[in-house]
Chain A
Amino acid sequence: MSLFPKAGGLRRTIRDTIRVFNRNKTSWAGLVLLLFMVSLAVLAPWISPYDPIDQNILERLSPASAEHLLGTDHFGRDILSRILWGARISLSVGTISVLMGMAVGTVLGILAGYKGKYWDYMIMGVMDVFMAIPTLLMGLMVVAVLGPNLVNLTIAIALTVAPRFARIARAPTISIKNRDFVEAGRAMGFSDLRIMAGHIFPNILGELIVMGSLWIATAVRIEASLSFIGLGVKPPTPTWGGMIREGFQNILSDPWISIYPGIFILITVLAFNMLGDGLRDAIDPKLRNS
């Protein structure tokens, strides 16, 4: 082991990841599904057959047909187009909120773990309070206070995610900070910031990525749930949760309006979970060395 396992740790993690991925077919499936979803979202403006907010009252609530592959909703809007555009919001809210939560949580977690003492008590105390509030309730409170729009929705989810990452970051930090290479760095007069950012962070990145992929799945679900109860984005912007909610008006006669976006949520959440499981196996030292 080199004295300062910096980039090497990261490079090895990536190499091992690919190796375990090759052993684990499910994670490849997850990755493929996910890339498919992301490409749908990215290409939405070009591949959507219709304008997602264009109403056609006379053709409303029509079932799947050659013209409208997934049918139309109660305003006669093309469901497929709305799902494709909705993917952009669902995926970006999911990813951005988790990245935000990850950034905040990781910084706080490393700080708590590395500094210890009252830093640890203070930070983790606050984090525990946040953790005690159920995720959906937390999102609901934040959106209710700040008002329902895309930015606030993202902030709300980030807040529910952050404490989880603080937890994940803190524990390995405590064990790493007493390792030789950190001690050596300290002896050479490196600043705390340099040790935390340059030496501890790369060594816990693997865990964070796994957690991230699993939490994106949860974030997509929270976004859908908040949109479903009407705390999502403004009409007529399409989101998956919002579409399910709108479909509820006609759920007894035309259930597909809610079912199709539901299926897309299901696939996305499944893809992230499959990917996350594969990644976890990849960085688990027990599995990695076998």
Chain B
Amino acid sequence: MSKRIGLVSVFLAAIAVSSLLFVSPSFAEVVLKIGTLSNDANQLDPHVSTKSQDKILFPWVFNGLVRFAPGSADLSKIEADLAESWKSSADGLTWTFRLRKGVQFHSGYGELTADDVVFSLNRASKKETSTAYKGYADFASVSAPDKYTVKIVLTKPIPSLLGMVTNYHGGYIVSKKAVEKLGDNFKTNPIGTGPFAFSEYQSKRQVTLVANKDYFRGAPKIDKIIYRYLPDEASRELAFKNGELDLIYGTREQRWVERIRKDKGVKVDIIGLGELRTLHMNITKGPLKDIRVRQAISHAVNRDEMVAFVGQDVAQRSISVVPLGYLGNTSDVPLYKHDLAKAKALLKEAGYPDGVTLKVIITKVASLRVPMEILQAQLRKAGIILDLEVVEHSAFHKLIRQDASPLVLYGAARFPVADSYLTQFYLSDSTVGTPTAITNFSHCDAADAEITAARSEADQTKQLALWKTAQQKVLTQTCSVPIFEQLIVWARTTKLDYGFEMKNSLSNGPILNEMTTLK
């Protein structure tokens, strides 16, 4: 009898102890689960990938020498990051940065030194290892006088130099040791100094990041981030509503925003900088060679209808080829008003009284395909028929860079200075199909002189004037139709608090760092 009681009490004790293991909330890991738009990563090398859904991750993993204040994309509010202090010489040609001491790279790759910075900036300025290389053309040398000092010498003064060493694209500092050791694997195993360290990448599934407990600003309060690839909008929303996700890339439409805002415990963040949706017209091919046809297209586009479709909160109409809020943007440009009669008259004048048909390629992704279908309906009213071929997103990116589509609808956010947009989209040097190609889909060449001169103009008033002339010339040549800017929508549970006001971001997504908490 007593033996039995003994056995039972041991059994009960075992149950009690094991149940304690399950009910121990104080030890629970804080895991932030995120749902993003894409179906997979392109690659996770910050100097190479320009894909929006990769860019979102980079500021969580990497730092620059300086940074935009979290939640801001204001060039006048740049603050210290890996560099503690910096100064420039009187002629503006030499910049010296003092590095913060004791900053550790993830996964035991050691302390950050000036060597890593020199390596990173040189890597960012080489065509073979970086897609940001053009911005660094005026770097004469980057050197390390001692372990914690970096010296940048320029061939000509760059007024916005700090912008090139921020936590953005070529400005991210990578570990020299890691790049050399991992080689090609670095692109799926990024090593930085940021608040979160890369842990695992599962193709077409997710990226897992873990807290960098040694982060120089303090250990993050979130232990783990699971960044899941969920291209389908409805399933992403469903998972969010069921509480399986804490933060999702939202649908960038008014109706969606209004609907999800009503849900309890949900906060919607509409984040700048917006992506400017521009219709680029190839000025060297077919009917579009004739400027009157391009003007007809410009007059046939109805911006107000487009903004009404997307919604006042998430879209703003654009008339200039440089996005609003970028240093150098001007609204003093030739405006092509919505005027179907004029569009038809221009087509007739150009020798197309019965209209024209253009074979156009567009991606499956809704944020470009849907506006393109609206444009298709708008242009049809003026007799311009678009024969749309819908292709996979990666095929779209490849084909438009092979000049396969006379009209290219493209949306992009770049570094918020007029130069980045003008250089990449309208400088003849950047024309697609050439060895120095970036994204000049229109073969525009109207403002080469102004764009190049503005880049090294030390006097800001003169620089702004040059950028203004450039924007006017591009639109006079009618290389493209700027249509609207689309802001970025993220929805989060109210339990997630960024720790700062999330207004603007250059990474297409929210900034997550040591201040961010998840209750």
Contact for B255 among A54, A61, A147, A251, CB less than 8 A = A61
Main SS class of interface, A: loop
Residue A234, interface by CB 8 Å: yes
Q: A60-B309, A252-B234 are in contact. Are A230 and B377 (CB under 8 A)?
A: no
Tell me which residues across on chain A come within 8 A of B364, comparing CB atoms. 230
Within 8 A of B (CB), among A24-77: 53-55, 57-58, 60-61, 74-75
The 4 tightest CB contacts between A and B, nearest first, are: A55-B377, A57-B309, A57-B305, A251-B234
Residue B374, interface by CB 8 Å: yes
Within 8 A of B (CB), among A227-276: 230, 234-236, 248-253
B237 & A234 in contact (Cβ 8 Å cutoff): no
Within 8 A of A (CB), among B366-391: 366, 369-370, 373-374, 376-377, 380, 387-390
Contacts A61-B255, A74-B370 aside, 17 further interface pairs with beta carbons under 8 A come to A53-B380, A58-B308, A75-B374, A148-B390, A230-B364, A235-B369, A235-B376, A235-B388, A235-B390, A236-B373, A249-B233, A249-B234, A249-B251, A250-B255, A251-B234, A252-B238, A253-B255
What separation, in Å, do the CA atoms of A53 and B381 have in the docked complex?
11
A57 & B234 in contact (Cβ 8 Å cutoff): no
Interface residues on B, range: 20 to 34
Tell me which residues across on chain A come within 8 A of B369, comparing CB atoms. 235
Instruction: Encode B218-256 as 1/0 by CB contact (under 8 A) with A.
Output: 000000000000001110011000000000000100010
B309 & A252 in contact (Cβ 8 Å cutoff): no
Within 8 A of A (CB), among B244-281: 251, 255, 259
Tell me which residues across on chain A come within 8 A of B255, comparing CB atoms. 61, 250, 253
Tell me the smallest distance from the CB of B238 to a CB of chain A, in Å. 7
B374 & A55 in contact (Cβ 8 Å cutoff): yes
What separation, in Å, do the CA atoms of A251 and B234 have in the docked complex?
7
Within 8 A of B (CB), among A59-104: 60-61, 74-75
Give the interface centre of A53, A58, A148, A250 by most chain B CB atoms within 10 Å. Answer: A250
Instruction: Encode B376-419 as 1/0 by CB contact (under 8 A) with A.
Output: 11001000000111100000000000000000000000000000
Interface residues on A, range: 20 to 34
Nearest A residue to B378 via CB reads A55
B234 & A236 in contact (Cβ 8 Å cutoff): no
Contact for A235 among B308, B309, B373, CB less than 8 A = B373
Tell me which residues across on chain A come within 8 A of B377, comparing CB atoms. 53-55, 75, 236
What separation, in Å, do the CA atoms of A74 and B309 have in the docked complex?
9
Contact for B388 among A54, A234, A251, CB less than 8 A = A234
Contact for B387 among A75, A234, A251, CB less than 8 A = A234
What separation, in Å, do the CA atoms of A60 and B256 have in the docked complex?
14
What separation, in Å, do the CA atoms of A236 and B366 have in the docked complex?
14
Instruction: Encode A146-175 as 1/0 by CB contact (under 8 A) with B.
Output: 011000000000000000000000000000
Tell me the smallest distance from the CB of A77 to a CB of chain B, in Å. 9
Tell me which residues across on chain A come within 8 A of B366, comparing CB atoms. 249
Nearest B residue to A248 via CB reads B234
What separation, in Å, do the CA atoms of A138 and B324 have in the docked complex?
49
What separation, in Å, do the CA atoms of A61 and B364 have in the docked complex?
21
B390 & A234 in contact (Cβ 8 Å cutoff): yes
What separation, in Å, do the CA atoms of A251 and B259 have in the docked complex?
13
Tell me which residues across on chain A come within 8 A of B373, comparing CB atoms. 75, 235-236
Within 8 A of B (CB), among A125-153: 147-148
Tell me which residues across on chain A come within 8 A of B389, comparing CB atoms. 147, 234
What separation, in Å, do the CA atoms of A235 and B361 have in the docked complex?
11
What separation, in Å, do the CA atoms of A58 and B308 have in the docked complex?
8
Tell me the smallest distance from the CB of B94 to a CB of chain A, in Å. 54
A-B CB contact pairs (8 Å), 6 listed: A57-B309, A75-B373, A230-B364, A230-B390, A235-B373, A235-B388
Tell me which residues across on chain B come within 8 A of A55, comparing CB atoms. 374, 377
Nearest B residue to A231 via CB reads B390
What separation, in Å, do the CA atoms of A236 and B401 have in the docked complex?
25
Tell me the smallest distance from the CB of A61 to a CB of chain B, in Å. 7
What separation, in Å, do the CA atoms of A75 and B373 have in the docked complex?
9
What separation, in Å, do the CA atoms of A236 and B376 have in the docked complex?
8
Give the interface centre of B255, B308, B377, B387 by most chain A CB atoms within 10 Å. Answer: B377
Tell me which residues across on chain A come within 8 A of B251, comparing CB atoms. 249
Tell me which residues across on chain A come within 8 A of B305, comparing CB atoms. 57
Nearest A residue to B373 via CB reads A235
A57 & B387 in contact (Cβ 8 Å cutoff): no
Contact for A57 among B308, B388, B390, CB less than 8 A = B308
Tell me which residues across on chain A come within 8 A of B376, comparing CB atoms. 235-236
What separation, in Å, do the CA atoms of A1 and B233 have in the docked complex?
66
What separation, in Å, do the CA atoms of A148 and B388 have in the docked complex?
11
B237 & A252 in contact (Cβ 8 Å cutoff): yes
B234 & A253 in contact (Cβ 8 Å cutoff): no
Tell me the smallest distance from the CB of A94 to a CB of chain B, in Å. 22
Tell me which residues across on chain A come within 8 A of B259, comparing CB atoms. 253
Tell me which residues across on chain B come within 8 A of A61, comparing CB atoms. 255
Nearest B residue to A234 via CB reads B388
What separation, in Å, do the CA atoms of A15 and B235 have in the docked complex?
54
Tell me which residues across on chain B come within 8 A of A249, comparing CB atoms. 233-234, 251, 366
Tell me which residues across on chain B come within 8 A of A236, comparing CB atoms. 373, 376-377, 388
B374 & A57 in contact (Cβ 8 Å cutoff): yes
What separation, in Å, do the CA atoms of A119 and B369 have in the docked complex?
50
Tell me the smallest distance from the CB of B184 to a CB of chain A, in Å. 29
What separation, in Å, do the CA atoms of A234 and B361 have in the docked complex?
11
What separation, in Å, do the CA atoms of A61 and B234 have in the docked complex?
16
Tell me which residues across on chain B come within 8 A of A54, comparing CB atoms. 377
Tell me the smallest distance from the CB of B230 to a CB of chain A, in Å. 14
Nearest A residue to B258 via CB reads A253
Instruction: Encode B191-230 as 1/0 by CB contact (under 8 A) with A.
Output: 0000000000000000000000000000000000000000
What separation, in Å, do the CA atoms of A249 and B233 have in the docked complex?
7
What separation, in Å, do the CA atoms of A65 and B237 have in the docked complex?
28
Tell me which residues across on chain B come within 8 A of A234, comparing CB atoms. 387-390
